[in-house]
Amino acid sequence: MSIPPNPQRVTSTAPWQELQDYKESFVGTTLREIFDQEATRVEDMTIQAGPLHIDLSKNLADARVMELLVQLGEAMGLPEYRDAMMAGATVNTTENRAALHTALRVPVDQDFQVDGVDVAADVHEVLGRMRDFCRDLRSGRWLGVTGRTIKQVVNIGIGGSDLGPSMAAAALRPYRTAGIEPYFVSNLDPADLSAALDDLDPESCLFVISSKTFSTQETLVNARAAKQWLLTELERRGVAADTSAQRQAIIEKHFVAVSTNREAVTEFGIDPANMFGFWDWVGGRYSVDSAIGLTLMAAIGPQDFDQFLAGLHDVDEHFRTAPLHANAPALMGLLSVWYRDFLGSQSHAVMPYSEDLREFPDYLQQLTMESLGKSVRLDGSKVGVPTGPVYWGAPGTNGQHAFFQLLHQGTQLIPSDFIGFCNPHGEVTTQPEGTKMHDMLMANFFAQTRVLAFGRTAEELRAAGTPEELIPHKEMPGNQPSTTILADMLTPRSLGGLIALYEHITFVQSVIWGINAFDQWGVEFGKLQASDLLPAVRGTAAVAAGDGSTDALISFYRQHRNEG
């Protein structure tokens, strides 16, 4: 089942042309004016999407803009493409694949088949094996080769095999209740692996090698180094590792794989019974809820991992069933197109007011920019309009003391998302005031979105007694748009909802621009170039990259490389 590329360019649609015309009169409109003119704006632009309470009212778009954006989504076939993706159609046409990440969180009692394949049964078979394995780890039934229980689980992977589970494990810190500490190693820089190994006990650690093909260079280099470290350290403790059978016994107790390459996994020494698979319709950056989440499940437990899946499914169902005018991912994706192509924004900031969610902006960078960093449409023609905003951010209130000055009084339009929670996992009360720290955090949260939207006028400054010469320096223009996302607490379910929200926001933008959100050919070519240059970098081949700059840099590197 496939869906053909949309032959219609977004710029040729009537809503696009109407938006272009309306923009001319809209530019200069302030959020103060919009709020004054639209009495029911907050009610109209607040949406409950699963566990998420989403307020879109501080976005720089009036009712007419929102109406035209919905029409734009309809004109580009957004409902049809959404339904096709979620039904398993081949939406990743350059790789001839479906993009069925939503199937990873289909409830066990829900039938889901694609082209005669019981996808739901396949998903739940793997989930069942993951649950059994993690229960064994957490209960102490799975032991290391010396009989010690496993207390440290190290995920070795990169890209989607690292960013998602690492972010989620940090976000769900309060749910790591079995005494299993997760670690994540991704970088080819040896400092990354060394930092993890420094903390590990070789008798009570387990490595999860996460690579779909079991051929990713960074992952296999780190995996081989980890294997050598483990054998060496155990030998120092008197564990025999002289024969291949002895080494195999060690590896089988301390290494498992998340992969589809049974032959390569077996060759590495991992028992194929301890290989957890997934499918080519799961893209790396959409895979945190697949077997790639094995380390996360080991840390938080199967029950909370099921809640994580439920939160993802909650927002999937909202995206699937809500009409576009009340559909949070659809509207947020359409607003991003409005800011990028009509108002000229180049980046999008994400500020989680939660220290546990500190890795979320990094996770979103891969999800959004690897998906939307495209300049050609599905049919191979040039897009013709700007795509892919740069996503960035930091936790509040740290970000307030780093880059918020630029947001408040700079010259760039930077839309932002503020993510907050009504309740913390641990209350801390300041003394002697008796104020709860979480209330102080959230006061900052609400204040920043208000000031970004409405600013501070010269008249207000004068009324406050500000010296005239300081008024130009203290005036704040406002009109920096933001979306506010609130949940009751940072739980597995609310985190799942956040991930699904941004997955679908990303997909919406790709449909409007007519691009493929599920391939990454630029990344693939960079890997090939690295392999081609490695002999020259190692000094085993002549330096001849083909351009003077790269040749000179490699030559400089070789001259200063200490071969220790």
Mean pLDDT of the region 222-239: 97
User: Cβ contacts of residue 212 below 8 Å, gap of 6+?
Assistant: 161, 259, 260, 261, 278, 280, 284
244: confidence class by pLDDT, cuts 50, 70, 90: very high
Strands of the sheet with 181-185, listed across from one edge = 181-185, 152-156, 205-210, 255-258, 275-276
DSSP, res 148: P
User: Cβ contacts of residue 536 below 8 Å, gap of 6+?
Assistant: 542, 543, 544, 545, 554
Q: How far apart are CA 252 and CA 268, in angstroms?
A: 10
Cα separation values, 67 from 20, 64, 73, Å: 14, 5, 10
Total residues found in the chain within this entry = 564
The residues that are catalytic are 370, 401, 527
Q: How far apart are CA 554 and CA 561, in angstroms?
A: 10
19-34: pLDDT as tens digits = 999 999 999 999 999 9
**Could you check whether the bond before residue 7 is cis, i.e. omega within 30 degrees of 0?**
no
Residue 263 neighbours by CB distance under 10 Å = 9
The answer on pLDDT for 354 being more than 70 is yes
Give pLDDT, residue 489: 98
Amino acid at 70: V
Helix (H, G, I), strand (E, B) or coil at 115: coil
277-323: pLDDT as tens digits = 999 999 999 999 999 999 999 999 999 999 999 999 999 999 999 99
Q: What is the mean pLDDT of the chain?
A: 96
Give pLDDT, residue 528: 87
Mean pLDDT of the region 346-364: 98
CB of 339 within 8 A of CB of 480? no
Q: Which residue, 230, 261, 258, is CA-closest to 246?
A: 230
102-147: pLDDT as tens digits = 999 999 999 899 988 999 999 999 999 999 999 999 999 999 999 9
492-501: pLDDT as tens digits = 999 999 999 9
Q: How far apart are CA 224 and CA 206, in angstroms?
A: 14
Helix (H, G, I), strand (E, B) or coil at 364: helix
509-531: pLDDT as tens digits = 999 999 999 999 998 888 889 88
2: confidence class by pLDDT, cuts 50, 70, 90: low
The answer on pLDDT for 5 being more than 80 is no
User: Cβ contacts of residue 256 below 8 Å, gap of 6+?
Assistant: 133, 206, 207, 208, 209, 270, 274, 275, 276, 294
CB of 446 within 8 A of CB of 455? no
Q: How far apart are CA 549 and CA 542, in angstroms?
A: 15
Give pLDDT, residue 7: 82
Strands of 186-236 (E only): list them.
205-210
Mean pLDDT of the region 154-169: 97
Q: How far apart are CA 491 and CA 57, in angstroms?
A: 26
52-102: pLDDT as tens digits = 999 999 999 999 999 999 999 999 999 999 999 999 999 999 999 999 999
Phi, then psi, of 162 in degrees rounded to 5: -135, -50
Give pLDDT, residue 526: 85
Give pLDDT, residue 546: 87
The answer on pLDDT for 369 being more than 90 is yes
401-448: pLDDT as tens digits = 999 999 999 999 999 999 999 999 999 999 878 999 999 999 999 999
Q: Cα dihedral sign for 406, 407, 409, 411?
A: positive
For 525, half-sphere exposure in the C-beta direction (CA atoms, 13 angstrom radius) is 4
CB of 509 within 8 A of CB of 443? no
Task: Please report how the helices 521-538 and 548-560 are oriented relative to each other, as an axis angle in degrees rounded to 10.
Answer: 50
CB of 408 within 8 A of CB of 476? yes
The answer on pLDDT for 1 being more than 70 is no
CB of 161 within 8 A of CB of 219? yes
Which one has a higher pLDDT value, 212 or 42?
42
Give pLDDT, residue 402: 97
545-558: pLDDT as tens digits = 889 999 999 999 99
The answer on pLDDT for 564 being more than 70 is no
Mean pLDDT of the region 339-360: 98
Mean pLDDT of the region 380-394: 97
